[in-house]
Structure 1
Amino acid sequence: MSSHTTPDGPAGGPAAGPRRRLIRELLLVAGLFAVYKAGRMLSTDRTDEALRNAGRIWDAERTLHLPGEGAIQRLLLHGDALVHTANTYYAAVHFPATVLFLVWLYVRRPGHYLWARRVLAVLTGAALVLHLTFPLAPPRMLGAAHLVDTAQVYGPSVYRAAPATDTMANQFAAMPSLHFGWALMLALGMIAATRSRWRVLWLLHPLVTLLVVVGTANHYWLDAIVATVLLGGALLVVPRPRVRAGSLAVVRHLPRPQRAAGPLTPAAVREPSAESVGAGR
């Protein structure tokens, strides 16, 4: 018996193309994320510089009359359940939500997927440059802030208590806040890719994320502001998706019916049909 099987079609069959594209996308996204994670670790031993920058950011916020991060944290500390929920949101929602967002776009809105993936790549790359050039300790490490490290006290925590011993995360990469930047892009991407009257509610995700990252003392207000500016730059650089005809996004561009008394257009001038001649019109 021959060991050869009958091919399903050219180049492995009709399903080979989509499978190759899916594998390529998975490898690309995983590779970009691995480069980002590896790059962040290059500034983990710059403790003194990160604390000095934290003092500068704290002073700058007071000069700008931004509200103190402690005001949000005091709201969370009203109950153990509330602060535990905020810590869980910080630890468990950020990355899975972004992955689900990209998967949904890949399956349902391929054009929007490419746009969102490119925007996130530009945003994350710009964030990595800032992480390396401007190491920043989060407010939970700044004595002048008088804030509680809620993750260590109430749990759960994604960081070790001593930043120098944390081999899985760079705790001096507070600016910009990619928790907030990715959440804001998720909301904008879903608003752009859907047509529900309730799609504006996607903005609740970045709003809750902002309150969580500030209230848990993981980020300053300026971290979110800088993330917003970088995202705005990425949106300007990356072209908007081209939506093909037939999708919900282009229904408004379909031609309107001709009015009976409207002016003739070149497209409306045709040879009279036999039926119209016979009708005497």
Structure 2
Amino acid sequence: MFAGITTGTRRQTRPAGPETTASRPPLVRELLLVTALFLVYKFGRQLANGHEARAFDNADRVWSWERALHLPGEGSVQHLLLHGDTLVKAANTFYATVHFPATVAFLVYLYLRRPGHYLWSRRVLAGLTAAALVLHITVPLAPPRMLTTAGLVDTAQVYGPSVYAATPDNDAMANQFAAMPSLHFGWALMVAIGLIMATRSRWRWLWLLHPALTLLVVVGTANHYWLDAIVATALLGAVLYFVPAPKRPTRLPTASKAGRQASVPQQTPVPEPALASQQAPAPQLSEAVR
């Protein structure tokens, strides 16, 4: 009886979800795959260089669309950063140093702890990056820091640090006319969504502070428009729709509760023949007395 109870309890406490069956992909293969995707993205962005005239025309249109939609001006956010050199330098440092390391740390964590969620997140990030690359090539866009109409400060060049060359023509490492969509924001939003999906903590929703802070930084430093983040969100939503998500990990019962369930003695029903045998001596006693 107790063996059956123990076996049933162990079966109930077994974690549910894809982590029980998802196997961790080979590390070398994943490193090569992620590196290849990164190189394709970097070289693909270079294909959009040489379209400065189109990039500035598109920037004028985006600026006009934002005003027509009554979106808040990017200058209002930048004005907050320019209250002190320390704050604006911190924003520039965040823009230059957090984007890639945070995404890599996110993938490493999922690879080690949540293989099923890692595969899903890697596919979503790859799909989002591919879609963004298509827009970078077909719709070159000058960032607001280059747009005279915007009247914004190029905070990275003025206060530092900067990841871009002072003039786009001399920048051999990055395409400065690939503002839409903002992968800084798109990746940050996916990191938050992935961690919320893969964890059980009641505090997991605080991961949304990462894309919120990223949005303020990319807009405040005049590297992106509001619409760049909106388009990145729409693309991420489309990719999430087509890439099925794994189940969230379930919370396991506590050991004390399971132990109490296993230790509770259960009453065994007495068979009817046994009851009859217990009542049988009564007539015999009456006959002896008689």
**1:222 counterpart residue number:** 227
Which of the residues 201, 209, 212 maps onto 1:204?
209
Question: What is the deviation of 1:276?
Answer: 3.9
The residue type paired with residue 228 of structure 1 is T
CA offset digits 1:154-193 (Å, max 9, x no partner): 0000000110110000000000000000000000110110
1:157 aligned partner: 162
Give yes or no for the alignment of 1:61 onto 2:66: yes
Q: In the alignment, which residue of structure 1 is the partner of 2:180?
A: 175
Provide the identity percentage.
Answer: 69
Partners of 2:113 and 2:217 in 1: CA distance: 30
> Which letter does structure 1 place at the counterpart of 2:54?
E
Q: For the residues of structure 1 that align with 2:121 and 2:38, how far apart are their CA atoms?
A: 15
**One-letter code of the match for 1:103?**
V
Partner of 1:266: none
Q: Secondary structure at the match of 1:114?
A: helix
The aligned counterpart of 2:94 is: 89
Give a deviation string over 1:85-104, Cα, whole Å, max 9, x none: 00000000010000000000
**What is the aligned partner in structure 2 of residue 190 from structure 1?**
195
Secondary structure at the aligned position of 1:43 is classed as coil
Bigger relative contact order (CA 8 A; separation at least 6): 2
Cα offset, 1:249, TM superposition: 2.7
Task: Give unpaired runs (5+ residues) of structure 1.
Answer: 1-17, 258-274
The answer to whether the 8 Å contact 2:24/2:111 transfers is no
Hey, what's the Cα distance between the residues in 2 that align with 1:276 and 1:91?
Answer: 72
Q: Which runs of 5+ in 2 are unaligned?
A: 1-22, 259-267, 276-290
Match of 1:71 in 2: 76
Does 2:167 match 1:166? no
| Counterpart-to-counterpart distance in 1, 2:25 and 2:245 | 25
Tell me the C-alpha RMSD between the 2 structures. 2.2
Tell me the CA shift for residue 242 of structure 1: 4.7
Give the TM-score taking structure 2 as reference length. 0.79
- 1:41 is matched with 46
The letter of the residue matching 1:53 is N
1:239 counterpart residue number:
244
Q: Distance in 2 between matches of 1:147 and 1:187?
A: 29
Cross-structure match for 1:265: none
**Deviation for aligned residue 1:115:** 0.6
Give the aligned residue type for 2:27.
L
Q: Distance in 1 between matches of 2:244 and 2:25?
A: 25
For 2:191, give the aligned amino acid.
L
Q: Is 1:249 matched up with 2:250?
A: yes
Deviation at 1:278, TM superposition (A): 4.9
After superposition, the C-alpha distances for 1:104-151 in whole angstroms (9 at most, x for unaligned) are 000000000001000001100000000000000000000000000000
> Is the Cα contact below 8 Å between 2:24 and 2:115 reproduced in 1?
no
Following the alignment from structure 2 to structure 1, what is the Cα–Cα distance between the partners of residues 38 and 214? Answer: 21
How many residues align? The count is 241
